Structure 1
Amino acid sequence: MQSTANGVAPAAQQPDATDPDRVPDDLAVARKVLGLEADGLEALAQSLDGRFSQALDILADVSGRVVVTGMGKSGHIGRKIAATFASTGTPSQYVHPGEASHGDLGMITEADAVVALSNSGETSELSDLLQHCRRFSIPLIAITSRANSTLDTFATVGMILPPVPEADTMGLAPTTSTTMSLALGDALAVALLNRKGFTASDFQILHPGGKLGRQLLRIRDIMHQGEEVPLVPETATMTDVVVEMTRKRFGCVGVLDSHGALVGVVTDGDLSRHMSESVLGEPVTALMTRNPVSTRPEALAMEVLGDMNAKKIGAVFVLEELKPVGILHLHDVLRAGIV
């Protein structure tokens, strides 16, 4: 070992990431990998046939859960596919084939369907699970690269990946095949949610946390209601408006006609622009803005935020059949973490 006079070995020299002779080779390898995997996805898309629809029929008819299984890299892909099914309205779980042989077969019932992944179709750990499906007539969808393999033979529907090379330099590591398996799982999940009429509202229910859930919040989820809403009748004076505006602290007051419909709004900006000794005695109809901006309880908070920013307003009334049922302030949207 090389050492200095004080006995401390020098730090190992790190390769220069900007070496002009090295970087092009790295990029060439990366582009080749991505190109091969892209070719694999194109081949997969072209290979889809009636078996895809048959698999979808099975998944759509499941009254229990979609159980996804696979060993090794296929297992990692299977976990993601199960998570995608679950998050798009199809109850699903991953079952490890090894654990299935030691009691977890009890998780798979006659009300379920199984999606099994194995590139070779000969994964020995799947054996007990395949026998369990056959014994109890549980529908089995296979995703494999080998037609007539054990997995394909046991399957109710066998989905065969096209014969394309793996993307590693030796052509051995699961790369293109796992990419195709993952994409095929995505295709099944998206086609299934389309069949079921799964909506953005359904998606929000299953994703209440995180940015996706916040972006799909409805106005009804965050609006102020009942006595919190600042309202006066159109027979009120500006004195009544000031009292209500001070009490509710939204910076505005809605004006109602005799039927309870919103016909106007007065903001603190209106008060500032018209402030005089006589303004408090004026009828509210003299200063209010007619046909104010409003929204619906079912509107997406994210979209309403965009409208508020574009129109430079700090609060908006929420209407049902022209009558106010709530009010939303810009700060409510920001507190909900929409942006």
Structure 2
Amino acid sequence: MASNEPALQDPPTTEWVPTGQWAPTAAGEEWNPTEESVRPVRGRHRVVKQRNGLARSSTVLGVGVIAAVGAGGMATAQDKPPVSISLPDTITDNLPDAKSLPGVGSLISDSDEDEADAQSGNEAPLTTLSIDSSADSGADATADAGEALRARILQQAEQQQAKVDAEAKAAAEQAAAEQAAAEAKKQQTAAEAKAAEEKRKAEAAAKAAAEEAARKAEAERLAKLAASYSLPTSSYTITSTYGQAGSMWSSGYHTGLDLAAPTGTPAKAVHGGTIKSAGWSGSYGYRIVLELEDGTEVWYCHLSSMTVGAGQKVGTGETIGRVGATGNVTGPHLHLEVHTAGGDGIDPMAWLRGKGLTV
């Protein structure tokens, strides 16, 4: 191998100091710059020092630094095989002491062992620089990175699946709740309809029961009234009713109830009361007016004879006269009229039926 060893030089008699002046030094002495004494240098300069009779230039120093930096950068690569950098022994023997470099000595360990090695010149030559990483370590790192990525992807997939499952579960629960609410509403509607139907039936039954009770009560009342009331005559035929229109009546309509019967048929008091009047009454012929306790008046007209007088008290069913054809008539019959206490005429048939009598 060709030698790149620089030529030997005589020891300099002067060195550059930080003040910018060249100062003489004793033969065999050398100046060691420090961080405090060295100012930034601009341009191309050379610092030469004597050690073991050899001169070491800044060029050699630059080669060593570049080799060290390159080796440090390569040491960080995990996917490349080890690389060795070799330098000639003549260069490594003349490399400067690292601790003597400005700004570098403070980065080097000050342990006694390192210092002893540096002073004795036993430091290992910078002949090779290797990267301890191997293909296996790079493969392991790649495998670890792939496994981490795979684990992360699986974790994200599990999270997404869990989210989807949670949303599906929430949707199912909401659908179930809506279905349950709809079913509950349907049942409630059916229950309300059933309750309304039962209520209607109950009201109808109650109404029917009330009507039946009222009918029975009315029947009992009429039965009692019937016991105290009597028909005005017997063996009769109804020939004219109340309110019937016709020219034969002076008012233009019939004001009473005509019960046709043979002359001499008994006329009876419908209820107990007092004879208010008994005598001739023009077109009515012989008439008897029976006044009841509540002020109601019952008129018996067209009689052939009278058996009672005014002011006389009579009882229910007592004969007070006989059927005839006196007055304005076309044949023998009993003309019966009913007037309220105020004097208004009412339907005799309805009044008699209201007393429990069957006409």
Q: TM-score range, shorter-chain basis?
A: under 0.3
Q: TM-score, normalised by structure 2?
A: 0.19
What is the TM-score of this pair, normalised by structure 1?
Answer: 0.20
Larger radius of gyration: 2
